[in-house]
Amino acid sequence: MKKDHPFRLADYSDQKDLELIQLAVNGNRNSLSQLIERHQQYIYNIALKMINNVADAEDITQEILIKLVTNLSKYDSTKGKFRTWLYRITFNHFLNTKQQKYEKLVTGFDVFFNYIEETPEIPLTAIEEAELQLEIEESKVSCMAGMLMCLNREQRLIYIVGELFEIDHTLGSEIFEISPANFRQKLARARKDLYQWMHNKCGLVNKENPCRCPKKTKGFIANGWINPKDLKWHSDYQERIKDFSKEKLPATLLTVDSIYTSLYKEHPFKISRNTENIIEKIINNDTLNSTFDLGN
């Protein structure tokens, strides 16, 4: 049975969060743990798409959760929904955190695709292609994740939450403290910048571009971009991003923009390997214990 995920919009219950918050601020350790667990994987997956590095994404997730817990007693339900309050903390942290390693390497689409072009193409035999199927899929996701990194931070974040995780324009405008029209405009610009490069370079969306992921896979492995023994994307997941969509559009109804989006929604929704460790560190933090007077 799938867990109740607050980011699966159809299943989200603000009331459930409010109940857990009330118990947590009164010192209930289990309720605080449940509240963290409800939101951790969503934050982690946004972080992984934003940063493109597992260890850094886990560190940032922990930093955000600590902010959540330390500020929990300040949340006022009369001034807005908990989800809006939490997302604002989360996204402000993403926008203001120090520049990460991958962001320093990829400074634009031209730089990124130059890396791809410089990777040698090594044709695979039918047997090799079958044996490396998981690595080939990893190549596809890694390449598309790299394209996301070419967007500036605000564009990247707006695209990830507005397009992939379907935060609506009203909620998006509240989180980013802009008008709904401005949020739509920023999302449209992010789409345009990303899709233009994908259309010109990626064979997954434009058949006139040769789909070279299988031919590039061995090169990606040689470069260290893909580790067959520790796959970044195709490990530690049970569902895909599309499983959290509000709507399931049949392929025949997909617009051009939806086709691009659907490719990203095929990506795995990752489960952090350190979920329990992160929660335990937060729950057992001496400062937080004294703040909440945590019991059982």
Residue whose token pair is 């946004």: 46
Tell me the pLDDT tens digit for each residue of 268-296: 888 887 777 777 777 777 666 655 555 55
Asked if residue 73 and residue 94 are part of one domain, the reply reads: yes
Asked if residue 256 and residue 112 are part of one domain, the reply reads: yes
Domain range for 69: 1-102+272-296
pLDDT at 254: 45
Asked if residue 118 and residue 88 are part of one domain, the reply reads: no
Model confidence at 28: pLDDT above 80: yes
Which residues is 269 bridged to in the sheet? 239
Model confidence at 6: pLDDT above 90: no
Distance CA 13, CA 2 (A): 15
Asked if residue 263 and residue 118 are part of one domain, the reply reads: yes
DSSP label of 128: H
Lowest mean pLDDT among 69-73, 102-106, 122-126: 102-106
Asked if residue 10 and residue 46 are part of one domain, the reply reads: yes
Radius of gyration of the chain (CA): 20
Asked if residue 258 and residue 169 are part of one domain, the reply reads: yes
Higher-pLDDT residue of 177 and 261 is 177
Tell me the pLDDT tens digit for each residue of 241-264: 877 665 544 443 445 556 677 778
Asked if residue 32 and residue 165 are part of one domain, the reply reads: no
Q: Are 226 and 220 in contact (CB under 8 A)?
A: yes
pTM: 0.84
List Cα–Cα distances, 29 to 76, 165, 285, in angstroms: 21, 30, 12
DSSP label of 238: E
Dihedral of alpha carbons 144, 147, 149, 152, sign: negative
Asked if residue 218 and residue 129 are part of one domain, the reply reads: yes
Torsions phi, psi of 212, nearest 5?
Answer: -110, 10
Asked if residue 20 and residue 118 are part of one domain, the reply reads: no
CATH code of the domain covering residue 68 = 1.10.1740.10
Tally of domains within the chain? 2
Q: How many other CB atoms are found less than 10 A from the CB of residue 81?
A: 15
What is the pLDDT averaged over residues 131-159?
92
pLDDT at 278: 76
